[in-house]
Structure 1
């Protein structure tokens, strides 16, 4: 990914400028820091239990804030992930990203913005939303029409994550870290959020997907490397469009033409059971060019039969620059052990297709064959044969092609 990138976040407009590709010396320094992170993060994870000597003295105000938040969530029945989708916006600053997320939130959502600065959080008072502040640590507002909640919390973020990891009072559906302090000096890398102990929790993915945005390419690349060390998958896209800027920093950078990045294949699963087949699987290697597809249920193919099978997932594939791209569905080598063959040899999925993936199989033998639930006979392969990074999402961007299936291009007919 050789692209222009930009200097670390800074309030001084004169310090914002585009940088060329990383020089060799800077690349080597970045790699050294990444290697240190890979060494230290497992040690961090081992010391994250409450009662460990390093966590004996937690900030009192953050403990109080955490308790107040949990109390609010329980009082409003917001702790059940099957009924409420919680999004946490860490380092929310003046709250623009939190407010924008709330305005676009689906019904029964809870958006939580957290920052340590009382001064920055005081800016939300100018919002058109009616906020209630039962304490200096927590403010909230509620939309009865959509049953959605927005909460601002003043807390030390690493401590908050430690508490949530240990007590597990609720589980966020997603996490966002937009334009955190980058601490650009290499000797201060442990102050970057992904060098802190809390990243060992977020990096594992057990607290839901994480999206990170920054205008500093080095930070994004190190986030990607440290996350992959935990077995996570992350893709990087350029942020475009000032109208959709999520923070004041992002709006300023984009107006000045400074490139901004977000570290996050976007996959929509139809049902939690199908999603569970893909999330957290251990057999997939980070260097694999093929991304294996599971059969969502057992299917029997009669002798000599040709059958279309719906895999119940949809994919919005993107290249490394964030542009839509086509991809292939091909058989895995293990299919030779079965009497099945892919009817169209290989499937080309156009970049605008948003329907569920389907495969067509022929049973070429004289007896029926049952594909077991969860079995993997096919795989997704990118045009460049590079490994897939992916993220589970609830919706995919709409396109002109949409969910038009086999043979629908140019026919005016959509088949399912």
Structure 2
């Protein structure tokens, strides 16, 4: 069945007039569009040519921060106890990958241990600034480094390079006193902002590390150095196509720190402790120099530089002898017999006669029985110091009270 036409023309002239009207309207619309297009092009190419030329130049070149080598830490004789070493690593640039999950799958076939950290890696890569390389694995062996480079064409957005990583050549000997470096956390950035300061841009670089404990933390600002930058040419998608060497700025290494510690004494002190728990501080009494400051048992701070595996960290944290605790500074211990002269001095400042005798029968009762080192009989202060008599100094301490002792202790620097 044939369908009837929707529009009927009574004569040929009417049909021709309708066609001309449509042609006129269509042609007018095209003419207006052309005029608008030409006008916009004229505005972009002539009126705003200089402005957009500047923007294009800025988009063509990008300045990318380069972390500086961290300053060296040496002992009193110039032995490096915290330095830097070359390290092969593999990085991923999210915006240059076609499919991040597929890229990590392929990378996992080459580096199986990256699969264990897959969830963490995805979080770090997605949180990184655009076109910023994120380290996926550090300390690659030469075989791993070669394997990644061999398959580079199959791994868009993946690159392998060499950088400098923090290194502690004596391992646990300095783990507490020197500390270690670690990745910048959200809490670190928040702490800076809470002080009313603006966090340096280098803190947001995924490969940057800051001091987390000990000397590394206390002198972190000096040890950081000054960040450099590479001026690179990028394409329309932001991918690097060339480097402008003349416009790049080399990083400046951090300041060198010289400690009073003696490497031989420090290592020997840790060796003597073995696996026993405790701490040791060796001081030069002539000038107050700290020659050794050891906490035992210790741990290898090199594990923390790239990120310690959770299983190893949990094992260290749960070990009953507390290797993560700095017992030299953070431990709470009874002061021992070396504190007895402070008690005697506090008493003498308040009228105690050092010739006054106290009878020691071998124990002292204060809520419970405290044993002495022997039965010393009647002792004056000189004899009590010589015999290290607990009964004598406990008697003195209870007579004058803790506030008097604390006041004298503070005056002596405790």
Q: Tell me the TM-score range normalised by the shorter chain.
A: under 0.3
- Which protein has the larger Cα radius of gyration, Structure 1 or Structure 2? 2
Higher relative helix content: 2
TM-score (norm 2): 0.23
